[in-house]
Amino acid sequence: MPMDGSYEPSSSSMARDQVALIESSDGADGTLLKGRPVVVLTMRGNKSGSIRKTPLMRVEHDGRYALVASLGGAPRHPVWYYNLKADPHVQVQDGAARGDYVTHEASGAERDEWWERSVEAFPDYADYQRETDRVIPVFVAEPVDRATR
């Protein structure tokens, strides 16, 4: 399920440059942030309909990924949160590997489990949660071939 349409790079130069480096090197360069691995999330913009991309910390378990909407502990959700709420079909690039996924926002015990994995992969998430009054959303990205079974 390739994503088609025009690509609209992020307004954040850090995100835009990191995505460009990862993609131009086929995942060989740019895959670390603060010494931890990142993936590239590709989705459709909920307002523009354009293809949007952002690097996120890599939280993988059994072929699934957590997509943590932390925005560094800001009081609001990142823009991409609303993109996934509007259209759960995404692509994840992990190194050179790319795959199609369907996402859902985790809640309850599932969220707790993925939150624990996320903090283990990137301990700053715990600090981010302490810095905000909102519960930081966690999406689970399930490979399309598993999600359709």
What's domain 13-147's architecture?
Answer: Roll (2.30)
Find the length of the chain: 149
Predicted local distance difference test score (pLDDT) of residue 145: 85
Would you say 15 and 55 are in contact if contact means Cβ atoms under 8 Å apart?
yes
Question: Pairing relation of β-strands 97-105 and 89-94?
Answer: antiparallel
pTM for this structure? 0.94
Label residue 4 by pLDDT band (50, 70, 90).
confident
- From residue 47, alpha-carbon distances to 52, 53, 82, 85 in Å are 11, 15, 9, 12
Predicted local distance difference test score (pLDDT) of residue 147: 62
Give the tens place of pLDDT for each residue, 120-142: 999 999 999 999 999 999 999 99
CA end-to-end span of the chain:
16
Number of C-beta neighbours around residue 145 at 10 A = 11
Give the tens place of pLDDT for each residue, 45-84: 999 999 999 999 999 999 999 999 999 999 999 999 999 9
Residue type, 82: Y
